[in-house]
Amino acid sequence: MMRLLVVDDDPDVCEALSEVLSDSGYEVETAPDGAIALERLLAAREPPQVVVTDLRMPNLNGVELAAALRGCPRLSSVPVVLCSASPEARALAAGAGLKDVLDKPLDLGRLLALLGELTSGRQTSAGVLATELLRREHAAILRAIAERASEAGTLGEAAAEARAAIARGILGWFQSEVLEHDAWEERFLFPVIDACAPAPRPYTAMLRHQHAVLARWVADLATLAAASPLDPVAFTRRVDRLLGLLTAHLEAEEAVVLGILDDCIADERFQQEVLARARRR
Ligand SMILES: [Fe+2]
Ligand SMILES: [Fe+2]
């Protein structure tokens, strides 16, 4: 769901906009002035897709808030819509490089049309955030991690034949699901991050390195699975280490890379790739 931050010192405006925009499918947060809005935006793990702000407010006004966001690399791409009844609003906005200005009292139709325009580049043609689809895939992998861990836990007590079958099943999951997911990310996700995020390469370099370690450990697991008789202690230990690294790796991707992508995604081809991938699964 698209998230918006509405900033206005008039609580009635915040309440009314919150209601209308929520009814239109947005998730809306409100702030009573620019300073509080800025504080929340700086602390947010994932910034909203658009900030809709009043001009005249105590502490920090709408233009000053927009200027503060432009100065922060993580928030500089968040669009700001300035709303004001003041005749000098457009001149002030132009001076600050803000092009989206709406007159108060607000024409809700115009506001919704503008929000649709500003957020359309961040959604796939199916209206779903590309990062949302990737998060769903991560959630599915996390559920499977718990299943593989409990399967590995049964190895020690299983009969030899069942033991080999369980080991092959676990190995097959790493090879077909995890390594395939990693290969897709290296091909489609990381290049987009490298191209659009501020100073992104250390992030993707770290994640690529973890992919390489995961691939090496899966190869070790294949050697252990091929041994006859299978050593259940060594195999389970390797599976545990793999699942631990994979869990940490997914957390790093969610916290760092997908957050960056939410801020900057506008690449239609990439969105189509994510959508096609989600449909195949
Ligand atoms: Fe990954
Ligand atoms: Fe991933």
Backbone angles phi, psi at 259, to 5 degrees: -65, -45
Q: What is the pLDDT of residue 114?
A: 86
H/E stretch holding 50 reads strand 50-54
For the CA of 204, the nearest ligand: 1
Spatial strand order in the sheet of 3-7: 27-31, 3-7, 50-54, 80-84, 101-103
- Per-position DSSP letters for 68-111, written without gaps between them: HHHTSTTTTTS-EEEEE--TTHHHHHHHTT---EEESSP-HHHH
* Ion ligand 2, residue ranges at CB < 5 A: 253
For the CA of 133, the nearest ligand: 2
Cα(218) to ligand 1 centroid in Å equals 14
Cα(47) to ligand 1 centroid in Å equals 22
Is the per-residue pLDDT at 9 higher than 60? yes
Question: CB–CB of 82/111 below 8 Å?
Answer: no
For the CA of 190, the nearest ligand: 1
Strand 27-31 relative to strand 3-7: parallel, antiparallel, unpaired?
parallel
- Per-position DSSP letters for 155-182, written without gaps between them: GGGS-HHHHHHHHHHHHHHIIIIIHHHH
For the CA of 258, the nearest ligand: 2
Task: Produce one character per residue of 79-97: b if its CB has 16 or more CB atoms within 10 Å, e if not.
Answer: bbbbbbeeeebeebbeebe
Cα(261) to ligand 1 centroid in Å equals 14
- Structure-token match 């955030």, residue found: 129
CATH classification number, 3-120, choose in 3.40.50.2300, 3.40.1400.10, 3.90.226.10, 3.40.50.300: 3.40.50.2300
Mean pLDDT value across residues 8-35: 93
Structure tokens at 204: 């993707």
* Mean per-residue pLDDT of the chain: 85
Radius of gyration of the chain (CA): 24
**What are the structural domain ranges in the chain?**
3-120, 130-280
Q: What is the pLDDT of residue 122?
A: 57
CA pair distance 225, 123, nearest whole angstrom: 43
CA pair distance 23, 126, nearest whole angstrom: 20
Residue type at 256 in one-letter notation: V
For the CA of 141, the nearest ligand: 2
Cα(162) to ligand 2 centroid in Å equals 31
CATH of domain 130-280: 1.20.120.520
Q: What is the pLDDT of residue 200?
A: 55
The per-residue pLDDT for range 87-116, each reduced to its tens digit, is 888 888 888 778 889 999 898 888 988 888
The per-residue pLDDT for range 191-241, each reduced to its tens digit, is 777 766 655 567 788 889 999 999 999 999 999 999 988 999 999 999 999
Cα(181) to ligand 1 centroid in Å equals 7
Is the per-residue pLDDT at 151 higher than 80? yes
Is the per-residue pLDDT at 128 higher than 60? no
Examine domains 3-120 and 130-280 and report if their fold is the same.
no
Mean pLDDT value across residues 75-94: 86
